[in-house]
Amino acid sequence: MMSGKYTSIDNQQVSGSVPAVTDPGQTTVKFSDANLQTFPPSGAKGKISVGSQPPRDADDTFSSPNGGSDEPPQGGGWLRTFAIATYKPYFDVDTSDVVDRIKESLFPFRGSFTEKTAENPDLYGPFWICTTLIFVAASIGTFVTYVAHKLQKKEWNYDINLVTWSAGVFYGYVAIVPLVLYVILKYFSAPARLVQLFCLYGYSLFVFIPALCLSVVPLEIFRWVIAGVAGFMSATFVALNLKAHINSAGERWFLIVVGIFLLQLALSVVLKLYLFTVTV
């Protein structure tokens, strides 16, 4: 056994016993940098590129009238009527645009509404105004009849027909009257854009919202005055903004103006008689 003895080899002392392996301590394992691909690629700048869009269903033709695309159908024709993209430009307005157009409707003698909306007539404002009128007319009319019945200590029942009737009146008025006027102006060789007429008549009804709110005052003469003023302002707003088209109709322009005034006044009278004539 050679333990504890040494031999000299090449002027070096070598232990005769096998030396113990020293503890290397903490071992660090280094890995080469992973070659990972970033997604989306850095060139996309935060936007999903065309190649990385989520997959579509095998058959998404029912997503929209144009097979999932917002673009109008190629070839035009009646198919464009069912395309979402056909109506997009008429809802391309923001709150400030709608508020400015409402302000114009409250100053009917300016007659500058058609000029300001010639490039961008909208249908959002008319839809919002008509929908608001439906609920305002139904709620105010219900409140007036409720108060009248309670003051006379009589039984009161809610009339759900006020909502459906108001919807038919306002939506029907804004849809049918501009269409009829469009045909008349075209017949008199003074055509106007149909969308422009829808926009004009829609905003012309805004004055009836404050008029309906003021009609809660329980004075019959006051209600008639409010209805007459609202109808006059609305009719004046429409007539003055169609002045150029009406003048080009020749000698028959007077008939068009009279028709516009009578229809707007008739609307205000119908609202007064149906909503604020209390029978107990």
Mean pLDDT per 10-residue interval, the chain, length 280 residues: 44 47 52 50 43 41 39 55 73 89 92 87 93 90 79 76 86 93 85 90 94 86 91 91 78 81 88 66
Q: Is residue 72 part of a domain?
A: no
Give the model's pLDDT for residue 19. Answer: 52
User: Which residue range(s) make up the domain with 177?
Assistant: 95-102+120-275
Q: Is residue 160 part of a domain?
A: yes
Q: Is residue 45 part of a domain?
A: no
CA distance 203 to 130: 9
Q: Which amino acid is at 144?
A: V
Give the model's pLDDT for residue 130. Answer: 94
Q: Is residue 138 part of a domain?
A: yes
Is 76 exposed, middle or buried (CB count within 10 Å of its CB: 0-12, 13-18, 19+)? Answer: exposed
Q: What domain count does the chain have?
A: 1
Question: Which distant-in-sequence residues (6+ apart) come within 8 Å of 106 by Cβ?
Answer: 206, 207, 233
Give the model's pLDDT for residue 80. Answer: 67
The pTM score is: 0.68
CA distance 245 to 268: 25
**Sign of the dihedral defined by the CA atoms of residues 203, 207, 208, 210, in that order:** positive
Question: Which distant-in-sequence residues (6+ apart) come within 8 Å of 67 by Cβ?
Answer: 60, 61
CA distance 153 to 88: 53
Q: Is residue 207 part of a domain?
A: yes
Give the model's pLDDT for residue 55. Answer: 43
Q: Is residue 87 part of a domain?
A: no
Please give the structure tokens belonging to residue 248.
């080009």
Give the model's pLDDT for residue 10. Answer: 44
Give the model's pLDDT for residue 171. Answer: 93
Q: Is residue 232 part of a domain?
A: yes
Comparing CA positions, the residue from 273, 192, 186, 175 lying closest to residue 239 is 192
Report CA-CA distances (Å) from 253 to 67, 194, 196, 199.
47, 19, 19, 21
Give the model's pLDDT for residue 54. Answer: 42
Give the model's pLDDT for residue 273. Answer: 82
